Structure 1
Amino acid sequence: MQCNLKTDTSRYARQIILSEVGAQGQQRLRDSKVLVVGAGGLGCPVLLYLAGAGVGTIGIVDNDIVDVSNLHRQILYAIADVGDLKVLAAKRRINQLNPDIVVHTVATTLNPDNVLSLLAEYDIIVDATDNFDAKYLISDACIECEKPMVYASISQFEGQVSVFNYYNRHTQQRGPCFRDLFETPPPPHLTRNCSEAGVLGVIPGLLGCFQANEVLKLILRAGAPLSGHLLSIDCLDNTFHLLNINKKTRDRPPAKTLGATTTLAWRDSDWLSPETLHDWIAKQAPFQLVDVRDIDEHQQGSLGGSLIPLKDIIKRQEELDTNRRIVFYCKSGVRSKAALLAVRSFSQEAELYSLEGGIERYLAIYPDDRHPAVS
């Protein structure tokens, strides 16, 4: 497909003048094919900006319908679209924005039987889903099909973005995949979707823009893609962290096991009794004590140790000393159990414990061990 010089010069003038784009880059955009899996909070800004940039062929996979509760964050849709399939409403909006591009829609849910055929004709795959099963499936299929995967996830005021399975033309090697970040799924306590955990509407918009930017960089071969790195953003305090992702040696997953996941089970021996913890503290035994409650709870009184709230346990994993025993505690033992399972997902050899009954039970037995509130 060749560019219409007159149309492209007027529509894309502000990006063609960039040295990283130019006429050749605009032609690359027009010739590219991008599949966006998920037309929700992340997918909407991705689709709008890819269409606006002139990506020639866009595929959309989603089996959901537009609901009024989507409208605060899914900016492709309007009240008139409520009740329609998202893929059809998205295509209408994209065609209004840019009628010169081709839009393919598939109203289905990805599964091991259809994922390879759906990904086959596209150059880049965008993961705009909101559940771990879909992310593992997309990642494994991208490895099988040798496609880059542009990933993002969101929770409340936070988000992450990365590029997986990227082929570096200079080193002739592929970068890490999604399983290098999460070898096994975090526990359900840490994987709630937007309808369960809530989300400020602007957050998926921001992360979707980062995804669109990574896609355009891949197509234009401009800048440094987020391969081997995870960009973590907390929009409440405006902090950005760029974390390294190391590639692990593993065999390519067989097609018949695409997306297969295993959840690390809880063991009764993971509980640590208040009596044992008290004994360890008294003897100054070598272990790390971690409070996984929120900061306001910690400031009201604690057992000491490090404060790493449950919601931050994955992104702050470098603060955990997995060479020593680690004891997690919370109010009653529920969040500390979730923290233990989350840490076990990336450090299966670590010796981890959850305080049974939490700080409430411990202080009922040893009230003098409370650390005073932080002023």
Structure 2
Amino acid sequence: MRQLELRRVARQLNLPGFGLEQQEALHNAHVLVVGAGGLGCPALQQMAAAGIGEITVIDDDTVDITNIHRQILFGADDVGKPKVEVAAERIRALQPGIRVHTLQERLTPDNALELVHGVDVVLDGSDSFSTKYLVADAAEATSTPLVWGTVLRFRGDVALWHSGVNTADARGVGLRDLFPEQPGGDFVPDCATAGVLGVTTSVIAGLMVTELIMYLTGLADTVGKVTSYDALGAQLRSLHVAADPQRALVTGVDNSYNNACAIPGRAGAGIADTSGMENAEKLLQEAHDLQRALQEGDAVGLDIREDHEVMVQPWPGVDAVLAPLSGIHRVDDVPPELFGEDVSQIVVACASGMRSQHFIERFGEEFQTRGITLRNLPGGIAGLV
């Protein structure tokens, strides 16, 4: 290690039990970071500051103005730029000697095993069930330690998993010992729908990087410990997960992750309940047909997103009736203009098509008794832009 780097981390070297050997362990480590978003950004910042010597970061997205309240490596001037490139520039400024590999692409079943197998630890900062289970399975199949984190609204969870045949007991503890099956896409709302307190992502990322440092330096072994943080009341709770001896270890990955997780009708997200690109394109065409019907006056649009969602991303080309779903508990809560004599078809939209589908399932029959057909906008507003 260079003298400049040792001076940079000098305060860390003063810690009891944390000396040159531990710092060299961080310097020699190669970490794969999946996602440069709300968790990935603060985690990357903290890892670079702590002295992790080599990082590979994978993310196919670009910076959006709605990201930067929680994705702290980005600023307003970075909007439109690849996240991985901006993140790499920022962490190189923190640690000039760091080795950073940027991959502006998605983690997929085709590349996951190779990427995960080639590193010392994986830090999962992704925000979807599909990616989280893909990462966890790839980590188990290659016996790679995995630092796992989730965050939504005011709370989050952190764990260190290490499972697979090449662990100390040839078994270990993995994500599927806690959650055996991948939930469907509507199990919980995503951050765009439910919201997230920006600083909570930094708290969870800090806990994740702490687990990473403890593992790499040998200062603590917390495999299987899940820590939950709730910002409302600043509460921390922990539980220990034991391996399920009846569960067979994962030995590979397949193409099932997106189909199990995707939101019904969501364009570009592995559309659920379809059998390939042909059906995905069919739903996309349906969305455009409904959009045309709205613009030609053959249908009325009902936007059930919350006010802040509409402000950030209006429904392009449609003068819709706005009625946030949070205020609709029965049909009588729907704006009366939707029951006009000339209304026979209503296109219901939300951000992704999930809430609007649930709205139709709940109220569709009552509208039908009034001679009105409800249609869901596949993929939601996000699928149109």
User: Could you say which TM-score interval applies, normalised by the shorter chain?
Assistant: 0.5 to 0.7
- Post-superposition offset of 1:24: 1.0
Choose which of 167, 177, 196 in structure 1 pairs with 2:193: 196
CA distance, structure 2, for counterparts of residue 182 and residue 207 of structure 1 = 20
- Post-superposition offset of 1:85: 0.5
Mapped contact 2:113–2:142 kept (Cα < 8 A)? yes
Task: For residue 209 of structure 1, give the secondary structure of its aligned residue in structure 2.
Answer: helix
Task: For residue 66 of structure 2, give the secondary structure of its aligned residue in structure 1.
Answer: helix
Query: Match for residue 84 of structure 1?
Result: 81
Query: Match for residue 235 of structure 2?
Result: 239
Instruction: List gaps (5 residues or longer) in structure 2.
Output: 262-328, 331-361, 363-385
Letter of the aligned partner of 1:80 in structure 2?
D
1:184-333 correspondence runs (5 A): 184-225=181-222, 227-249=223-245, 250-257=247-254, 260=257
- Post-superposition offset of 1:189: 3.8
Verify: 1:135 aligned to 2:120, yes or no: no
- Post-superposition offset of 1:259: 6.1
CA distance, structure 2, for counterparts of residue 263 and residue 81 of structure 1 = 33
1:54-69 correspondence runs (5 A): 54-69=51-66
Letter of the aligned partner of 2:240 in structure 1?
N
Task: Please report the TM-score for the alignment, with normalisation by the length of structure 2.
Answer: 0.64
Mapped contact 2:31–2:120 kept (Cα < 8 A)? yes
CA distance, structure 2, for counterparts of residue 253 and residue 229 of structure 1 = 20
1:114-193 correspondence runs (5 A): 114-165=111-162, 172=169, 174-193=171-190
1:98-117 correspondence runs (5 A): 98-117=95-114
Task: Please report the TM-score for the alignment, with normalisation by the length of structure 1.
Answer: 0.65
- Post-superposition offset of 1:16: 1.0
Mapped contact 2:140–2:163 kept (Cα < 8 A)? no
Query: What value does the CA root-mean-square deviation take over the aligned residues?
Result: 2.4
Letter of the aligned partner of 1:113 in structure 2?
D
CA distance, structure 1, for counterparts of residue 185 and residue 125 of structure 2 = 19
Instruction: List gaps (5 residues or longer) in structure 1.
Output: 265-330, 333-356, 358-375
Distance 1:121 1:199, change over 3 A: same
Letter of the aligned partner of 1:82 in structure 2?
V
What are the superposed Cα offsets for residues 113-139 of structure 1, whole Å, 9 maximum, x if unpaired? 111111222100001000111011101
- Post-superposition offset of 1:190: 3.2
- Post-superposition offset of 1:252: 2.9
CA distance, structure 2, for counterparts of residue 144 and residue 247 of structure 1 = 15
- Aligned-pair identity in percent equals 35
CA distance, structure 1, for counterparts of residue 256 and residue 171 of structure 2 = 19
- Post-superposition offset of 1:261: 8.2
Number of residue pairs matched? 263
**230-239 vs 122-131, greater mean Cα deviation:** 230-239
Letter of the aligned partner of 1:137 in structure 2?
L
CA distance, structure 1, for counterparts of residue 161 and residue 64 of structure 2 = 31
Choose which of 24, 28, 34 in structure 2 pairs with 1:27: 24
